[in-house]
Structure 1
Amino acid sequence: PPRDRLDLFLATANRIGAPVGNVEKDFWVCWTLNALYHERPAGEPRLLFKGGTSLSKGYDLIKRFSEDIDVTVFRDDLEEPASVEELEALSNKKRRAKLDAIRDACRAYITGPLNAFLAAQLTEVTKGAGRVEIDDADPDRQTLLLWYPEVEPRDGAYVRPAIRLESGAKSALDPHGPLTITPYVAEEAAGVDLAVPDVTTIEATRTFWDKVVIAHGLRRWYERRGELRQEGQRVSRHYYDLHCLMQSETGRAALANLDLGADCVRHARMFFDRPDYDLASAVPGTFAIEPATKMVDALARDYANTTAMIFGT
C-alpha cells in the first residue's frame, strides 16, 4: 500500500540523510534495471550499464545521487557491428554513414520494442498510473522517460518523478562484468529481496578515463568558444566524479593504465569527436583537465544546484 511504501521511503531517507524523493526515485531506478536485465524477452539486444549511476550504485565510488540510467546497446546485436579499427579504415563519408546507421538502428530499438515493453511493464505494476515517453530533449531520440506515480506528490521538487533512460550504441563495451545493484530501501524492506543481480556494467576504470576525456573537452571547448558547453548545466558532476575517483584505488589504478586512457581517447575521437573538443591534444603532457579560471564561477553555480543530489552536503 502507498502508506507503507511512504513509511519505508521515509525511514530510509532518515537513515541515509537524503530527501525522500531521492529514495523513491532510487527504488524506481532499480526497478527499471531489473526490467531491463531480467524481464525482457529472450533474444533482445544486450545492454551495458555505464555512467555516473554505475559509479554510485554499482561501485559505491561516488556519493552522488544519480537519477538517470545510462546504457549502451551492443552494436553487434543491432546488426551494426563496428570497431574503431574498422571505422578508421573507412573514408570520412562512409564513416559518417556507418555512425548514422548505428544511431538509427539504436533509435529504432529504443523507441520501438523497448519503449513498448517498458510501457507495458510500468502500466501493469502501477495499475496504469505510470507512463513511458520519448524524451524530446534528446535530438537523437534515443532517450526514454519513465514517469512513476509518487507515493506523496511534491511540488517544485528538484527531483522529478521520472527515470531518464539514456541510450546509444556508440560507447566502448570493454572491460565489463556483472554487478548486483541494490536500492537504498532494501535495508528497511526486510524479507523482500530487492537486489538486482547480473547487471552487465562497464568497469569503473574505463569510466574514469571517459570522465577525463569529457573534462578535457569541456576545457578546450571553453578556450575556443569562450563559453561552457551545455551553458554550464549539469557539467560540474564530471569534476565531482573525477575528484571522488582520484581518492580511490580504482582511480589510482586507472591513472596507471595509460593504455586504457589512450584507448578511451581513440574511441572518443572516432565515435564522439567535435573539433572544439581538441581530442588530438588529449594525451599525457597536454591533457587539459583542470577548468580554466573563468569557468569556475559557472561550474560553482551548477554544482550549487546539484548539492541536493550529493549525500552529506
Structure 2
Amino acid sequence: MKLHESKQLFADAIEAAARPIPEGGLGIKSIFIEKDYWICRSLALMAKADPDNRAIFKGGTSLTKAYSIGSRFSEDIDVAISEAWTLNGNQLKMLIKRTSKSMTEGLQEIVIPGITSKGSHYHKAFYQYPRAVEVSQVGAIKAGQLLVEINSFADPYPFNKCVIKPFLTEFFEKTANTQLIEEYDMQPFSINVLDKRRTLTEKLVSLMRCSLADDYIHQLEAKIRHFYDLHHLLSDNDCSQYLASDSFQSDFKSLLAYDRQSFDKPEGWQDRPVKDSPLVHDFHAVWNSLKQTYLSELPDLAYQNIPDANAIEVSITKYLTVIMSFIGED
C-alpha cells in the first residue's frame, strides 16, 4: 500500500470517501478512513512477513474488518502469537520483535511512559503516521497514531484466513476507480484472524473476570466496548449456534480456568466463583451504572448508529442465562 506517498491524492481520496452516502461517499468520518488505511497497511505488512502463520489478528477491530460484525473502530492492532510454546525464549522474543518491526515499517515510535511496554513475551507501543486530515481527535480516537499490541500469553486458536479490505479500496471500487487500486497496491489481502466464536468466548470471560474484581464497575467501564461487540456477535448465525452448543460450555470453562491460573489482575477476582458475579445476580443494576459510559463512548467509535442501551442489556442477559445454566458452583 503506497497511496500515502502521493500526499495530495491521499488527502483528496480520504475527503471524498468521507462524504455522506447520498453524495457518493462512504459516510464514515475522515479520521476513521485515514486510520483504517494505516491499520490495513500494518496488517498487510504483517501478513507478508509471516510465512509460518504465527501472527494472528484478533480483538474488536478484527470483528469489523474480517467478519463485518459491528461497525466500530479502534486505534489498536491486537495480535497474538500462535503456538508460542514451541519456541524457546530467544526465538519468541525475536519473532515478536520482527513482527512489530514489519508492521510498523516507516512509522515513528512514540514512547509513552506507563503505556509503552516490551518484554520477551509481549510488545505494546504507539507509532506515529503522517496525518492527512485536519481532525485531531474523535472521542478516544486520535489521528496520527496506532497502538500495536503483540502477545504470546494465550494460544489464538482456532483462526481463519480472512480477506481484509481498506475503506479506501471499497470507495475506489464504488466509484469505478479500480485503476487506483492497482497503481497504489490497494488490493484486498488475506490474513490470519482469530475465529469470531473464540473472540466471543474471550470477551465473555474478560467481562466475568472484571466483574469479580473489588472495583468491578471501574473495571467493566474499561471494557465497555465488549458489550457492543457481544451484542453484534449474538446476531451472527454462527455465533448464536455456537452459544447453544456443548463446545461453548467447554471452551468457556477452559478459558476461565486458564485465566484464573494466568492473571492475578484485577485484584480480588481469582478466588471468587462465577455465581458471585454482579453480572449474574443483578445485571440490570450493573448495566444502569454502565450504560451512560456506553452511550457517551461508543457513538464516537462507531461509524453507524449504535444499538440502544436496552438492546445491549437484552443481549448480555441472554449470554448470562446460558452461562448460569452450566457453570454451577464454579
TM-score after normalising by structure 1: 0.75
1:53 Cα deviation after fit: 1.1
How many Å separate the matches in 1 of 2:37 and 2:116?
28
Which residue identity lines up with residue 181 of structure 1 in the other structure?
I
1:105 Cα deviation after fit: 7.1
| Partner of residue 84, structure 1 | none
Cα distance change on mapping 1:171 and 1:297 into 2, 3 Å: same
| Partner of residue 64, structure 2 | 56
Cα distance change on mapping 1:12 and 1:267 into 2, 3 Å: farther
| Partner of residue 250, structure 2 | 259
| Partner of residue 209, structure 2 | 217
How many Å separate the matches in 1 of 2:278 and 2:219?
20
Look up the SS of the partner of 1:172 in the other structure. Answer: coil
Residue 43 of structure 2 corresponds to residue 33 of structure 1: yes
1:138 Cα deviation after fit: 3.4
How many Å separate the matches in 1 of 2:293 and 2:42?
31
How many Å separate the matches in 2 of 1:154 and 1:51?
26
Query: Which structure 2 segments of 5+ residues have no match?
Result: 1-5, 20-24, 173-177, 306-330
1:299 Cα deviation after fit: 4.8
8 Å contact kept, 1:73–1:167: yes
1:184 Cα deviation after fit: 1.1
**Aligned residue-pair number:** 275
How many Å separate the matches in 1 of 2:167 and 2:117?
32
Q: 1:70 aligns with which of 58, 69, 78?
A: 78
Query: Which structure 1 segments of 5+ residues have no match?
Result: 81-100, 123-129
Which residue identity lines up with residue 208 of structure 1 in the other structure?
L
Which residue identity lines up with residue 168 of structure 1 in the other structure?
N
How many Å separate the matches in 1 of 2:231 and 2:281?
11
Cα distance change on mapping 1:7 and 1:289 into 2, 3 Å: farther
1:213 Cα deviation after fit: 0.6
How many Å separate the matches in 2 of 1:78 and 1:140?
24
Cα distance change on mapping 1:9 and 1:172 into 2, 3 Å: same
How many Å separate the matches in 1 of 2:102 and 2:304?
37
8 Å contact kept, 1:47–1:200: yes
| Partner of residue 146, structure 1 | 127
1:203 Cα deviation after fit: 0.4
How many Å separate the matches in 2 of 1:59 and 1:76?
25
1:182-227 C-alpha deviation (Å, 9 max, x unpaired):
1111123322152443311110001001111111122222xx3365
Cα distance change on mapping 1:27 and 1:279 into 2, 3 Å: farther
How many Å separate the matches in 2 of 1:135 and 1:179?
32
How many Å separate the matches in 2 of 1:188 and 1:70?
25
Cα distance change on mapping 1:291 and 1:237 into 2, 3 Å: farther
Look up the SS of the partner of 1:132 in the other structure. Answer: strand
Cα distance change on mapping 1:175 and 1:113 into 2, 3 Å: closer
How many Å separate the matches in 2 of 1:177 and 1:226?
33
Which residue identity lines up with residue 27 of structure 1 in the other structure?
Y
- The 5-angstrom pairing of residues 154-303 of structure 1 reads 154-158=135-139, 159-160=141-142, 161-189=144-172, 190-191=178-179, 192-193=181-182, 194-221=186-213, 224-225=214-215, 227-229=217-219, 232-233=221-222, 235-256=223-244, 257-274=248-265, 276-278=268-270, 281-282=273-274, 288=280, 291=283, 293-294=285-286, 296-301=288-293, 303=295
Which residue identity lines up with residue 33 of structure 2 in the other structure?
V
| Partner of residue 21, structure 1 | 31
1:305 Cα deviation after fit: 2.5
1:52 Cα deviation after fit: 0.5
8 Å contact kept, 1:49–1:202: yes
| Aligned residues with identical type, % of pairs | 19
8 Å contact kept, 1:72–1:168: yes
1:47 Cα deviation after fit: 0.5
Higher relative contact order structure (alpha carbons within 8 Å, sequence separation ≥ 6): 1
Look up the SS of the partner of 1:18 in the other structure. Answer: coil
1:140 Cα deviation after fit: 4.2
TM-score after normalising by structure 2: 0.72
How many Å separate the matches in 2 of 1:289 and 1:24?
43
How many Å separate the matches in 1 of 2:78 and 2:39?
11
Look up the SS of the partner of 1:300 in the other structure. Answer: helix
Look up the SS of the partner of 2:131 in the other structure. Answer: coil
